[in-house]
Structure formats: structure tokens, C-alpha cells
């Protein structure tokens, strides 16, 4: 073989190698794409609120990353609760005509849990500048004709155990995004977790008074409906399953006074005169 033929042969071989490498890289990219959105969605309890094709198209946006995260959190949390209860969540996927929707998962009247709910919500729409100001503090955001497109989403859960010596658990983690008049986006995260005991366990008495004083179920209901900002925001959004957090049963007694020296009396004393536990 002459030198020219040898060089041509090497070039053909190199070209074939490069082609194989390119195909391999493309296949890897397709595999990563499948794993990142479509494959991850298969592990959810139901299809996400936003269409999968839209999530694929906007996979690098923060709103997509957040929706995937809250969907995964819901699926993992429900699976863990089902393992404890030995039951199955009822899944309700709902749409909001104004934009967005949600997935509500509920289980109640079990052996362990009186009521357990895990909710994912994705809301789309427009807010007034004044409404945005209330949500973001004093920061002024300008919208077209005084309105700003928004995207709000989050995962929340409320668990009311049957055992009165186990506190109720609530958490909510959310993401809020606003688009200004010039097309720029402002976004922020929020949320928290709290426990609501029925009886005092002094070894666990490190809860913030803000949550601690609303620890009987009837007061829990009153607090949710009258003061909780998330509930009040949700009540203004038609279609939201915001009352999922309420206990299955609650009782109001006129001028109720528990027996002197009882655990109930001790709890009532803490409610009336909060202590510095920390």
C-alpha cells in the first residue's frame, strides 16, 4: 500500500470513529433527556399539572425544576405514609380554568391516621401590583396595565394522627414567580414546617410560640381560616383544595374548662400564658 492510500485509509477510519462517537453522544443526550423529565414523571402518582411537553421545552427554567421537585416529593411522601398506614391514597387531579391546577392526595379513617393529605398546586394567572406588594413586602414591581403574570406552586401536607400523644404535622414549601412589564422575572421561595401537639411533652417543648399556641383542633381550624396567609390566598383562587389541611373532626364547647390538674388543663395554661421553651 502506498503512502497516499494509507493516509486515505486512516482518514476513513478516523471519520468512522468520529461518527460512532457522535452517535454515542447523541444517544447519551437522548437518554439524559428521557431521564430528566419523561422518565421522572413515570414515578409520580399521576401526570404533572403542566403538560410534559411544556416541561421538556422549558426544562432549564426554575418553574419547571420546582414543579418536578414538588411532584417527586409528593410521590415519595405518599409512599412512605402508605407503608405506615397500610392503606392507599385517593388521588384527585384537578384543573383550574384560570390556569394551572393541582393534585390532591387524601387518606382518612385509617388505623394510624385520622386524616393525611399531600397536595401539589400549580397556579397561573395575573395579579395586581398591590396584591404582589402584599406578597413580596415593600418591593415595587411594575406590570403591564397594572397587572403582572404570575406562577405559584408548592407542595403541602397535613397529617392528623389518631393517637393524641403524637402531634399533628404540617409543612408547606412554595415557589412564586412574577413577570414584570419588561419581561424580566422575579421569583422567591417560602415555606416551613410545624408540629401541633395535643398534650405537652416537655422534652419536645422547643416549638415556636407562633405555632404552639394554636394546638387544639378547633383553634387550628380558626387559625387556618382567619390568619394563615396561604389559606387566605388559596380561598381567593377558585378551584384550590385549600381546606385539605383541616382535621377530619373538631369540636367547639362553650366556655370549656378542663378538670383542675389534668393534662388538658396544663395545655390550656400554656395556651393562655405562653412559655419561653428555648
The confidence score (pLDDT) of residue 151 equals 94
* Mean pLDDT lowest among 5-14, 201-210, 220-229: 201-210
C-beta of residue 90 within 8 angstroms of C-beta of residue 105: yes
Taking the C-alpha atoms of residue 199 and residue 224, their distance in angstroms, rounded to an integer, is 20
Burial class of residue 234 in the structure, from the number of CB atoms within 10 Å of its CB (0-12 exposed, 13-18 middle, 19+ buried): buried
Taking the C-alpha atoms of residue 55 and residue 33, their distance in angstroms, rounded to an integer, is 11
CA 157 to chain centre: 8
Question: What string of H, E and C letters represents the secondary structure of 65-93?
Answer: HHHHHHHHHHHHHHHHHHHHHCCCCEEEE
C-beta of residue 63 within 8 angstroms of C-beta of residue 77: no
Helix (H, G, I), strand (E, B) or coil at 278: coil
Cell numbers linked to 253: 364547647
CB atoms < 10 A from the CB of 132, how many? 22
Residue range 258-277: average pLDDT?
73
Model confidence at 11: pLDDT above 60: no
The confidence score (pLDDT) of residue 274 equals 75
CB atoms < 10 A from the CB of 67, how many? 24
Annotated catalytic residue 170: yes
Please state, for a pLDDT cut of 90, what percent of the chain lies above it: 38
Q: Summarize pLDDT for 83-132 with one digit per residue, the tens.
A: 999 999 999 999 998 899 999 999 999 999 999 999 999 999 988 766 66
Burial class of residue 115 in the structure, from the number of CB atoms within 10 Å of its CB (0-12 exposed, 13-18 middle, 19+ buried): buried
According to DSSP, the residues that pair with 187 across neighbouring strands are: 177
Residue range 188-195: average pLDDT?
89
Choosing from 108, 160, 165, 170, the catalytic residue is 170
Please state, for a pLDDT cut of 70, what percent of the chain lies above it: 60
Cell numbers linked to 38: 419523561
Cα 140 to Cα 132, 133, 146, 183, 185: the distances in Å are 8, 6, 11, 15, 13
The reported pTM is: 0.66
Residue range 226-230: average pLDDT?
63
Taking the C-alpha atoms of residue 260 and residue 86, their distance in angstroms, rounded to an integer, is 39
Taking the C-alpha atoms of residue 246 and residue 106, their distance in angstroms, rounded to an integer, is 12
Taking the C-alpha atoms of residue 211 and residue 249, their distance in angstroms, rounded to an integer, is 20
Model confidence at 15: pLDDT above 70: no
For the chain, give the mean pLDDT. 77
Q: How many Å from the N-terminal Cα to the C-terminal Cα in the chain?
A: 87
The confidence score (pLDDT) of residue 159 equals 94
* Nearest to 119, CA basis, from 257, 243, 277, 270: 243
Taking the C-alpha atoms of residue 33 and residue 29, their distance in angstroms, rounded to an integer, is 6
Taking the C-alpha atoms of residue 151 and residue 125, their distance in angstroms, rounded to an integer, is 7
Amino acid at each position: 500500500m502506498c503512502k497516499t492510500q494509507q493516509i486515505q485509509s486512516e482518514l476513513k477510519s478516523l471519520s468512522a470513529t468520529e461518527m460512532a462517537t457522535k452517535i454515542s453522544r447523541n444517544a447519551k443526550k437522548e437518554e439524559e433527556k428521557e431521564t430528566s423529565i419523561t422518565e421522572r414523571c413515570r414515578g409520580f402518582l399521576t401526570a404533572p399539572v403542566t403538560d410534559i411537553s411544556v416541561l421538556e421545552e422549558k426544562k432549564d427554567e426554575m418553574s419547571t425544576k420546582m414543579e418536578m421537585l414538588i411532584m417527586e416529593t409528593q410521590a415519595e411522601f405518599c409512599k412512605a405514609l402508605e407503608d405506615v398506614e397500610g392503606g392507599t391514597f385517593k388521588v384527585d387531579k384537578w384543573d383550574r380554568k384560570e390556569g394551572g391546577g393541582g393534585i390532591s392526595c387524601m387518606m382518612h379513617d385509617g388505623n394510624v391516621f385520622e386524616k393525611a393529605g399531600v397536595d401539589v398546586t400549580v397556579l397561573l394567572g395575573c395579579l395586581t401590583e398591590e396584591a404582589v406588594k402584599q406578597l413580596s413586602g415593600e418591593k415595587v414591581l411594575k406590570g403591564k396595565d397594572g397587572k403582572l403574570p404570575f406562577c405559584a406552586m408548592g407542595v403541602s401536607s397535613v397529617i392528623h394522627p389518631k393517637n393524641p400523644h403524637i402531634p399533628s404535622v404540617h409543612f408547606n414549601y412554595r415557589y412564586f414567580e412574577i413577570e414584570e412589564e419588561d419581561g424580566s422575572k422575579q421569583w422567591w421561595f417560602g415555606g416551613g414546617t410545624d408540629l401541633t401537639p395535643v398534650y405537652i411533652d416537655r422534652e419536645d417543648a422547643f416549638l415556636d410560640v407562633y405555632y404552639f399556641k394554636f394546638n387544639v383542633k378547633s383553634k387550628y381550624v380558626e387559625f387556618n381560616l382567619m390568619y394563615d396567609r396561604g389559606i387566605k390566598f388559596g380561598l381567593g383562587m377558585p378551584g384550590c383544595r385549600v381546606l385539605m389541611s383541616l382535621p377530619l373532626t373538631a369540636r367547639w364547647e362553650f366556655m370549656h374548662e378542663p378538670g383542675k390538674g389534668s393534662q388538658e388543663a396544663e395545655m390550656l395554661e400554656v395556651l393562655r400564658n405562653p412559655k419561653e421553651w428555648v
